[in-house]
């Protein structure tokens, strides 16, 4: 689940409906009850396949699965316990509910904590007379934890992916918009997250990588600077020379002359 999905989900309000654990003692396929409620599904152990609206997920206890309302579903090849939490989604603009018509899965960095919270929700639901209210409070705590973890982990992982892409494709055309799209983040969030992790904005990092590559080429080849600038992703030789001098204190030609002498 990427940043945009979490951002969309934060626009809704939620009301808890029910929580139950289903134990499967055979490999026979079975379905979860969805009706007009959405569901969060957590497999405690074991392996199997969850199919929702013709989309299949391999069940694992470090992931949680979202089922939209009225979703046809089937769990197959599974022995173990599954917790299903049903809830309703509300929005002032009903058209926004279209955003949650697709199933998805969520990676759980703290799977043991999620399991404990699922057990607490189910236990609270059995208490009288305020069990449903307590279960509802625990459910909203669970939602908050899921969203905050997703923002943290998906953001870091997405930035790492963007950095890897820059390091491999520095010679091509790179823009903030393209990198943000590859990372699955909106541009403003991507730029802030990138600077927080790498210490510099994305375009500054790209220039830094290109200059490092150019420094290596200046010491290993006698190709014209115009070609070297192009090979390292600089579209303009004069801009390349200016940024190189700002960074190193030398023009490209001076850098090659001085450092080649030191290599001898």
Distance, in Å, from the CA atom of 40 to the CA atom of 78, rounded to the nearest integer, reads 17
Same domain for 120 and 249? no
pLDDT band at 107 (very low <50, low <70, confident <90, very high): confident
Query: What confidence score (pLDDT) does residue 221 get?
Result: 92
Q: Is 254 within the bounds of a domain?
A: yes
Q: Is the pLDDT of residue 98 over 70?
A: no
pLDDT for 158: 80
Q: Do 121 and 19 lie in a common domain?
A: yes
Within 10 angstroms of residue 26's Cβ, the number of other Cβ atoms is 8
Shared domain check, 109 and 214: no
Any domain includes 184: no
Q: Is residue 138 classed exposed, middle or buried when 0-12, 13-18 and 19+ CB atoms within 10 A define those classes?
A: buried
Pick from 6-20, 119-133, 241-255: least confident: 6-20
- One domain for residues 111 and 242: no
Note whether 23 and 149 are same-domain residues: yes
Residues 6+ apart with CB under 8 A from 172: 233
pLDDT surpassing 80 at residue 10: no
pLDDT for 155 equals: 65
Mark whether 145 and 224 lie in a shared domain.
Answer: no
**174 in a domain, yes or no?**
no
182 domain residue, yes or no: no
Do 16 and 74 sit in the same domain of this protein?
yes
- Name the nearest CA neighbour of 83 among 138, 130, 12: 138
Q: Which of 5-9, 15-19, 180-184 has the highest mean pLDDT?
A: 15-19
- Number of structural domains (the chain) is 2
Mean pLDDT for 187-211 is: 93
Same domain, 52 and 132: yes
> What are the two backbone dihedrals, phi and then psi, of residue 76, each rounded to the nearest 5 degrees?
-130, 160
8 A C-beta contact, residue 32 and residue 84: yes
Residue 130 pLDDT more than 70?
yes
> In angstroms, rounded to a whole number, what is the distance separating the alpha carbons of residues 139 and 116?
12
Residue that has been written with the tokens 């305020």 in this structure: 130
Query: Whole-angstrom Cα distance, residue 24 to residue 21?
Result: 10
Tell me, what's the pLDDT at 185?
74
Residues spanned by the domain of 37: 3-154
Over the chain, what is the mean pLDDT? 88
The reply to whether 64 falls in a domain is yes
Q: What is the pLDDT of residue 34?
A: 78
Q: Is 23 in the same domain as 118?
A: yes
**Residue 161 included in any domain:** no
């Amino acid at each position: 689940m990427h940043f945009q999905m979490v951002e969309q989900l934060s626009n809704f309000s939620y009301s808890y409906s029910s929580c139950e654990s289903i134990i499967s003692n055979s490999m026979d396929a079975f379905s979860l009850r969805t009706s007009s409620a959405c569901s969060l599904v957590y497999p405690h152990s074991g392996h199997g396949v969850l199919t929702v609206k013709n989309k299949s997920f391999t069940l694992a206890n470090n992931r949680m699965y979202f089922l939209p309302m009225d979703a046809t579903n089937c769990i197959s090849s599974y022995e173990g316990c599954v917790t299903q939490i049903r809830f309703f989604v509300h929005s002032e603009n009903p058209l926004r509910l279209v955003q949650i018509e697709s199933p998805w899965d969520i990676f759980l960095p703290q799977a043991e904590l999620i399991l404990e919270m699922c057990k607490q929700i189910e236990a609270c639901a059995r208490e009288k007379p305020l069990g449903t209210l307590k279960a509802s409070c625990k459910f909203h705590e669970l939602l908050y934890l899921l969203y905050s973890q997703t923002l943290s982990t998906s953001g870091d992982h997405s930035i790492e992916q963007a950095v890897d892409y820059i390091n491999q494709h520095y010679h091509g055309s790179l823009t903030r918009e393209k990198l943000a799209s590859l990372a699955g983040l909106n541009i403003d969030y991507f730029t802030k997250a990138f600077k927080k992790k790498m210490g510099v904005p994305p375009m500054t990092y790209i220039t830094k990588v290109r200059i490092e590559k150019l420094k290596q080429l200046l010491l290993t080849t006698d190709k014209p600077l115009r070609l070297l600038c192009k090979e390292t992703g600089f579209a303009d030789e004069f801009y390349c020379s200016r940024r190189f001098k700002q960074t190193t204190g030398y023009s490209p030609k001076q850098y090659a002359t001085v450092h080649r002498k030191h290599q001898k």
